[in-house]
Amino acid sequence: MMQQIVPLEVLAPGEGGRIRDVDGDRCLVARLAEMGLRRGVEVHMIASGSPCIIAFDNHRMSFRAEEDAVVLVEVRQPA
């Protein structure tokens, strides 16, 4: 089965998946990791848009896609 990997901000409300990669400006990638957005973390889209609202590890966070970093997510396939 082929995996669908997309930028975090294109997930629809209710969709989720596992972060596959965070790439971009080293300082921004480090800051995102400090906040919990790093490879392997399960995320769930609460509200799409710019900024979007995501949930992960019992937290909710407002996230705006940056030109300096991209968060790629492996979309969780419905059962």
Q: Who has greater pLDDT, 19 or 69?
A: 19
pLDDT at 41 over 80: yes
Q: What is the pLDDT of residues 3-25, one digit of tens each?
A: 899 999 899 999 999 999 999 99
Q: What gap in Å lies between CA 12 and CA 33, rounded to an integer?
A: 23
pLDDT at 65: 78
Q: Letter for the amino acid at 19?
A: I
pTM of the shown model = 0.87
Q: How confident is the model over 48-64, as pLDDT tens digits?
A: 888 899 999 999 999 88
Q: Identify the CATH number of the domain defined by range 5-75.
A: 2.30.30.90
Q: Is the per-residue pLDDT at 44 higher than 70? A: yes
Residue type, 73: V
